Copies of this chain bind each other. A is one copy, B any other.
Amino acid sequence: MSKNRTPANTDNRTRTRLFVDYDLEYDHAVTATPEQHHYLRKVMRRIDGEMVTLFNGRHGEWLARIAYHGKARCMMIIEQRLQPQRQPPDVSLIFAPVKASAMNNIARMSTELGISRMCPVLTEYTDVRRTNTARLRSNVVEAAEQSARLNVPVVDEPVPLAKLLEVWDPSRRIILCAEIGKAVAIPEALAEIEPGGAWAVMIGPEGGFSQSELDGLAKLPFVTSVRLGPRILRSDTAVAAALVCWQNRLGDWSG
């Protein structure tokens, strides 16, 4: 887009943002990774002296000035804190791995929709047995940079459902998106819940949960089963739908 070739006084919505792992402090000079250097110079066509925004999930968001040193090196001088670190509402996503294109959508959209953690879970009807968590991590970093988040969701390694539940902290309640069983329509189910606390949204594989999985989940006191409308949703749509409902009622979309 032509908007990308804007001068240094571009507004914060269109400014290039980079997630970094080091501390962010006034007047520090930091070095871009080779990937970030390539992205700034070749993809975004940033010129020497232009501004970029940095965040690390701990120290808020900072403005930094690009200083290229020849072709091989790109420094960034941290000039100004734009906003302090904020703690967004805490909602994890538990999901059964699906094929790559849908999984990329899930990682990107759930990051845009504010999740704190991605927990891939292996269920009875999960067809996809290999989960590329490195790919998921790179997707969530890119989505966090582009969605103006101040942190990046944690990506867990996949675990079997039984294992996940065995070590689950019961104070983190789960909204289970079930197509069958005792599920309540999601607007009514969420209307019953007082905002606050830690949550997770759980989505099954394309084939749904098995009856025994649903029975087991329904017995857990921290699980609320919900229905996402009368039509059948693909996994990525279901993830987006459940998270949007959650943010609307219990998260940071109000007011």
Contacts and interface: CB of A to CB of B under 8 A. Distances in A.
Interface stretch (A28-36, A70-78, A227-235): A227-235
A148 B229 contact: no
B245 A244 contact: yes
A52 interface: no
A207 interface: yes
Contact of A113 (B1, B237, B248): B237
A202 to B, nearest CB: 17
Main secondary structure of the interface of A (DSSP, over half): loop
A92 to B, nearest CB: 17
Interface of A: 1, 3, 13, 105, 108-109, 112-114, 125, 127, 146-149, 179, 185-188, 206-207, 228-234, 236-237, 240-241, 244-245, 247-249, 251-255
A245 B247 CA distance: 10
Nearest to A252: B230
A16 to B, nearest CB: 13
A254 B105 contact: no
Contact of A232 (B147, B206, B247): B147
A244 B240 contact: yes
A125 B3 CA distance: 10
30 contacts: A1-B127, A3-B207, A13-B179, A105-B105, A105-B236, A109-B236, A109-B237, A109-B240, A112-B232, A113-B237, A113-B241, A146-B232, A146-B234, A147-B231, A147-B232, A147-B233, A148-B230, A148-B231, A148-B232, A149-B231, A185-B253, A186-B248, A186-B253, A187-B248, A188-B255, A229-B252, A230-B253, A237-B240, A240-B241, A248-B248
Given A114-B229, A230-B253, 8 more contacts: A13-B179, A109-B237, A112-B231, A187-B248, A187-B249, A240-B241, A244-B244, A244-B245
Nearest 7 CB-CB pairings of A with B = A229-B253, A240-B240, A244-B244, A147-B231, A241-B244, A109-B237, A187-B248
A76 to B, nearest CB: 22
Nearest to A227: B253
Contacts of A229: 113-114, 247, 251-253
